[in-house]
Every structure is written in C-alpha cells, then in structure tokens.
Amino acid sequence: MLLTIDVGNTNIVYGLFDGQKLVHQFRVESNRGRTSDEYAVVLRQLLSMADVDASKVTGAIVASVVPTLTEPMVALVKRAFGKDALVVGPGIRSGVPILYENPKEVGADRIVNAVAAYERVKGACIIVDFGTATTFDCVSPKGEYLGGVIAPGVNISADALFARAAKLPRVEIAKPPKVVGRNTVHSMQSGIVYGYVGLVDGLIDRLVEELGYPCKIIATGGIAKVIGPLSSRIEEVDDELTLVGLRILYERNTEE
C-alpha cells in the first residue's frame, strides 16, 4: 500500500492507496507543535481503527506547504513504517513543465493538483483548491503549468468579518435558504457563501478569457462541496484530487 500525505496550513490529509484505489482517508489538524513521534502515534491509531496492518505500507510520498512540518512527516514515515518518504519539491519528476517565473515558489499542492487534473482531462484545465487560501491553477492544452491566482480562503474572509464586526455572531459557513437573508445569520451566510461564489466565478471568467481557450474547471478542498454546486463555472468537485496526484507522482518517480 502507498501512503500519501498532504500537509496543509489547516489540516493534514493522509491517504492510503491499494494500487490505484484510495481505500482510506484520514484528516488531522496541522499542529506545528506536535512532534514526529506524536504524529506517528496518531496515524498508527487511525490505521488500527481502520483495521489496516501498518506493515502493508510499502511506500510514502509527502506534499507540504508548511516547511516546519515537512521534516516531521518524513521522520514519521521512517519511524512508523521504516520507509524513506518521497517529498514533492525541486528535482521531482512531475511530467508537467512549470512555466512560473520562479518554479521554486510554486506550492507543492498546486503542482500535485495540476498533475492529477491534467492526467484526467488530457487538456486545458483550471483547478480551484479551497484551502486556507483558495488557489486557481491553470494548465495549458499541452500540460504546462502556467500559474494562477491566490485568494484569501473563505474561512479567512469569514474570520475577518467575525473579528472586526463586534455585533455579528460567528456562523456556520453553509448555504442559506435564500439570497435575501431575513435574519442576521442568514444574511451573513448569504454574504459569505454567495459573495465567495461571485469571487470564484468572476476569477474563472477572467482566467478563461485571458487564456483564450476552453478549460475544464475542477474544484477540490474542504469547502468545495458548498461552493461548487452554487457556481456556474465549476464543472466537477473532487475531494480526492490531491491524493490522486500524489499517487501519480510517486509512480512516476519510482518506476524502474
């Protein structure tokens, strides 16, 4: 089995693949103060709860946008499974030409998503990843990573509203009954959710216009299931996109 580890600013997502099939997925908080030993204990417990024999893990790959957690993840894999983890970064064979001005600046998750999306679409695509930040990543018809957009995530935007407006309560980020809110909670939900849908659709419109060719629009990330169905531009929501991209990268870099 292959262990894939996607380290984000808010959560760490572990995926376990049996061949090309994702059989288990676990999500834990990204705690920068936790040691590799602590992470190892938590992961072994999660595997035990899922009746997974840890000895069946034969390889691992890590994509991290939190530098202080990259080494603990590598150490976790070594301690828990006795394996050397492959880390997504400079030097890894992605199969995707990176046309960013400085390729080293591109987050590992953005490259992983581009790899997975292009492998599926085999053509031009835009990946919208709803994480701590929301990223829009553009891939050309030839499979080149072109760059994209980084916007404040929906949770960051909502937190700013809660923090700066003393009389407004903290609300769940969910679709309200109507756009016209008839109470404070629904009014806030409408502004947060539909306001963000407008941001997403507006940016996609501008990206497609600038690129000059049709693109498949794929969304992933925590809040994608809320925003995706309300968007007029997002065509598909795939929670597993990043983990699948990690599997593809591992295969490309370990083929004999």
pTM to 2 decimal places: 0.92
pLDDT greater than 70 at residue 240:
yes
Query: Which domains, ranges and CATH numbers included, belong to the chain?
Result: 2-87 (3.30.420.40), 120-242 (3.30.420.40)
Q: Which two tokens stand for residue 42?
A: 């938590």
Q: Which two tokens stand for residue 230?
A: 């309300």
109 is catalytic: yes
pLDDT tens-digit map of 198-210: 999 999 999 999 9
Task: Tell me the CA distances in angstroms from 253 to 20, 95, 174, 248, one per residue in order.
Answer: 15, 10, 40, 9
pLDDT greater than 80 at residue 256:
no
Q: How many CB atoms lie within 10 A of CB 116?
A: 25
pLDDT greater than 90 at residue 195:
yes
pLDDT tens-digit map of 1-55: 999 999 999 899 999 999 999 999 999 988 888 888 899 889 989 999 999 998 8
What's the one-letter identity of residue 104? K
Strand partners, 133: 152
Q: How far is CA 79 from the centre of its chain?
A: 26
Task: From the candidates 6, 51, 109, 129, give the one annotated as an active-site residue.
Answer: 109
The contacts of residue 170 (CB under 8 Å, 6+ apart) are 162
- Whether the CB-CB separation of 241 and 117 falls below 8 Å is answered with yes
Q: What angle do CA 87, 91, 93 make, to 5 degrees?
A: 85
- Residue 197 has a pLDDT of 97
